[in-house]
Structure 1
Amino acid sequence: MSIVKIENVRVLDPIQQSDSVLTVYLEQGKLVSATDEVEVTLDGQGKWLMPTMVDLCARLREPGQQQHGTLKSEGKAARENGILHVFTPPDSKPIVQDNGALIHGLVEKAMLDGGIYLQVIGAQTQGLKGQQPANMAALKKGGCTAVSNANAPFANDDVVIRTLEYAAGLGLTVVFYAEEPQIAKDGCVHEGFIASRQGLPMIPALAETVAIAKYLLMIEATGVNAHFSLLSCGASVELIKIAKEKGLPVTADVAMHQLHLTDRLIDGFNALAHVRPPLRSDKDQERLRQGVKDGVIDAICTHHEPLSSSAKMAPFAETEPGFTAFDTYVSLGVQLVKEGLFTPLEWVEKVTLAPAKVANMQERWEQEAGWVLVDPEIQWTLTKESILSQGKNTPLINQTLTGKVLQTFHA
């Protein structure tokens, strides 16, 4: 492999907590000493160089839903947008994440087809049916470090407690996508003025906060390590803050789009704005942003969910929820920096080192991470043609964004 020299680039290194303009040399994605054996020289003036990112929640749609995306298409989209490690929930169709023997094959296929390190979150219950604990010992043997029931409901709270005790005994993290089914019911959007005016079924913030409060009590009782993914409500931030102050072993993340978009986008029955958990209010967004800034929310994920065009063509409530998010992830992060929420290094940490710590894989990430060259000033228009993902489902389509990955350097 050739050695690449990047001159006068702003190196954002969260491991060393350094932010400085340097001339660097890269070989197979690793920083090396200065050398005369340079085959490519790049001008890094005004550019950022950051480690490859870790995404704590993305659905790649394989196996079973290749009409929406494949490990090849979504792996390429992730990698070329600077994301090398991807965690995926255990709700593929069919569900294979309750079988430790099948998980290794998925991980291998993700690397062969898409060039990414796939981290499969195992199923918390058999078939995600919420009735019986999955064979977590076999899942751990198959490489899982975490389990979850994804968005599937539990039969009762006793099942939840038993699975938490089982996971705690094995040292597995339990990932919650918190939503109380009896409150959420058949809702699809945030409970607010716009939903009421349009007559759309609603998911109150209480559906999330009641679930979080209940699970926190169970976490305290069982001592299991837990991660709350995809927070959407301001009140959820307060609950996680209290839990951390009590010393409970909990972490949290938020989807990048929740820091930028609100329920105003659903006006006019815009199905491209249909996502779950739903886009919330301006006040929720403000509190989520502050939660990330303060470190109550540990990391920012993509919540990438590619969908075919037909999945968004029914009446709003009948469309499938989800945004394609790999292609806009860096641009929206750069926007947070330009708006003053983060310094460049603070933002980089939220999408690299912080999620690696949440996943208990800091050492592995440091060994496997490459580097990403970002132009924080380039303006570009998001079109269906420019989206690398197979899914083109985003409310940001045809918008002009600032900031883009120019190149990912990795072995």
Structure 2
Amino acid sequence: MSIVKIENVRVLDPIAKTDSVQTVYVENGKLVAETANVAETINGEGKWLMPTMVDLCARLREPGQQQHGTLKSEGKAARENGILHVFTPPDSKPIVQDNGALIHGLVEKAMLDGGIYLQVIGAQTQGLLGKQPANMAGLKKGGCTAVSNANASFENDDVVLRTLEYAAGLDMTVVFYAEEPQIAKDGCVHEGFVASRQGLPTIPALAETIAIAKYLLMIEATGVSAHFGLLSCGASVELIKIAKAKGLNITCDVAMHQLHLTDQLIDGFNSLAHVRPPLRSEKDKELLRQGVKDGVIDAICTHHEPLSSSAKMAPFAETLSGFTAFDTYIPFGIQLIKEGLFEPLEWVEKVTVAPAKVANMYDRWVAESGWVLIDPEVEWTITKDSIISQGKNTPLIQQTVRAKALRTFTA
């Protein structure tokens, strides 16, 4: 690879904890010493240079759902938006993440087709059926460091306990996407005024908080390392805060869209705003923001879920849930800075170092990460043509946003 010189760029380095305007030289995704052997020069004035990001939750849809997205299409979307390491839940269709022998092939294909480092979260139970623990030893041998039952329910709490004990013995992390099925039932939106007016079945905040409270007791009893993904309720932040103060070995994240969007978007049965966990209230949004600011919530993820256009064309409750989120990740992050929640280096840390540490892969991330050049001021309109992902399913279509990745430098 040739050496690129970037002049007068603002370098946001969360490893060295520095924020300064510099002229830098990039070769094979790494900053190198000044050299005369420059193949390309970029004017970086007004631009930012930051390390490539780590995403703790994204569904890439392959294998089995290529009508929504592929490792090639979504890998390209992630990479071009500055995301190089992607964690994916174990709920592809068919489910292959309960077989350690198949996982290595997925990881290789993600790099060959999409140019990203894929990290597969293994299945917590066989086939995600919630009845028997999966072969976690085999999953660990296949490269998994964490397991989850994704959004699938467990047959009973005894199964949960047995899987936690199994994972603890292997020093594997258990990832929870907390939702109590008996309360959530067939719900699809936040329990609030808009849902009531439209007569849509709801997922109360209690569905999340009761599940978190129950799992925290099990985590304390088994000593397992656990991560709570995709928090959506302000009350959940308080539960996590108390558990961390007690010394439980837990971490958590929140999807970027939960820090910006609320259930007001579902008005008019807007199926593009159908996501799970659902968009919550303005109060929840503010408490989640404060949780990230205070460090109770460790990291921010995309919760990228590409879907074909037909997946959003049925009546609201019958549509598939999910947003395409890679392309709006940086604009939403810059918006948090513009609104005063973070200093630029603080935000960079929440999407790079913090998720890498949550995933126990900090040293690996440092070795494999590249750099992404972004323009924090450029305005662009979100359209089906401007979205790189195969999925165009976002409630932000036709909205104008600010900030965009210009180029990603990797090995």
Shared fold (TM-score, shorter chain, > 0.5):
yes
Aligned position for 1:284: 284
One-letter identity of the residue aligned with 1:174: V
One-letter identity of the residue aligned with 2:65: Q
Aligned position for 1:10: 10
Tell me, in whole angstroms, the C-alpha distance in 1 between the residues paired with 2:9 and 2:300. 25
Aligned position for 2:239: 239
Aligned position for 1:394: 394
One-letter identity of the residue aligned with 2:349: E
Aligned position for 1:300: 300
Aligned position for 1:164: 164
Counterparts of 1:166-315 in structure 2, within 5 Å, are 166-315=166-315
Aligned position for 1:350: 350
C-alpha offsets along residues 336-372 of structure 1, whole Å, 9 cap, x if unaligned? 0000000000000000000000000000000000000
Tell me the SS of whatever aligns to 1:38.
coil
1:88 counterpart = 2:88? yes
C-alpha offsets along residues 172-207 of structure 1, whole Å, 9 cap, x if unaligned? 000000000000000000000000000000000000
Tell me, in whole angstroms, the C-alpha distance in 2 between the residues paired with 1:174 and 1:397. 35
Tell me the SS of whatever aligns to 1:326.
coil
C-alpha offsets along residues 18-55 of structure 1, whole Å, 9 cap, x if unaligned? 11111100001101000000010001111110000000
Counterparts of 1:354-393 in structure 2, within 5 Å, are 354-393=354-393
Tell me, in whole angstroms, the C-alpha distance in 2 between the residues paired with 1:176 and 1:61. 20
One-letter identity of the residue aligned with 1:312: K
Tell me, in whole angstroms, the C-alpha distance in 2 between the residues paired with 1:194 and 1:30. 49
One-letter identity of the residue aligned with 1:287: L
Tell me, in whole angstroms, the C-alpha distance in 2 between the residues paired with 1:23 and 1:385. 34
Tell me the SS of whatever aligns to 1:395.
coil
Tell me the SS of whatever aligns to 2:113.
helix
Tell me, in whole angstroms, the C-alpha distance in 2 between the residues paired with 1:34 and 1:279. 48
Aligned position for 1:403: 403
Tell me, in whole angstroms, the C-alpha distance in 2 between the residues paired with 1:3 and 1:177. 43
One-letter identity of the residue aligned with 2:187: G
Displacement of 1:298 in angstroms is 0.4
Aligned position for 1:330: 330
Aligned position for 2:122: 122
Aligned position for 1:106: 106
C-alpha offsets along residues 301-328 of structure 1, whole Å, 9 cap, x if unaligned? 0000000000000000000000000000
Displacement of 1:290 in angstroms is 0.1
Tell me, in whole angstroms, the C-alpha distance in 1 between the residues paired with 2:13 and 2:216. 34
Runs of 5+ in structure 2 lacking a partner?
Answer: none
Tell me the SS of whatever aligns to 2:395.
coil
Tell me, in whole angstroms, the C-alpha distance in 2 between the residues paired with 1:128 and 1:199. 31
Tell me, in whole angstroms, the C-alpha distance in 1 between the residues paired with 2:23 and 2:244. 40
Tell me, in whole angstroms, the C-alpha distance in 2 between the residues paired with 1:25 and 1:280. 44
Tell me, in whole angstroms, the C-alpha distance in 2 between the residues paired with 1:243 and 1:40. 51
Aligned position for 1:50: 50
Q: TM-score, normalised by structure 2?
A: 1.00
Tell me the SS of whatever aligns to 1:41.
strand
Tell me, in whole angstroms, the C-alpha distance in 2 between the residues paired with 1:158 and 1:21. 56
Tell me, in whole angstroms, the C-alpha distance in 2 between the residues paired with 1:308 and 1:51. 31
C-alpha offsets along residues 222-246 of structure 1, whole Å, 9 cap, x if unaligned? 0100000000000000000001111
Displacement of 1:71 in angstroms is 0.2
Tell me, in whole angstroms, the C-alpha distance in 2 between the residues paired with 1:356 and 1:282. 29
Runs of 5+ in structure 1 lacking a partner?
Answer: none
One-letter identity of the residue aligned with 1:95: I
Displacement of 1:387 in angstroms is 0.5
Q: TM-score, normalised by structure 1?
A: 1.00
Tell me, in whole angstroms, the C-alpha distance in 1 between the residues paired with 2:222 and 2:19. 41
Tell me, in whole angstroms, the C-alpha distance in 2 between the residues paired with 1:129 and 1:274. 25
Aligned position for 1:25: 25
Question: % of aligned pairs identical?
Answer: 84
Tell me, in whole angstroms, the C-alpha distance in 1 between the residues paired with 2:163 and 2:91. 17
Tell me the SS of whatever aligns to 1:140.
helix
Tell me, in whole angstroms, the C-alpha distance in 1 between the residues paired with 2:402 and 2:15. 26
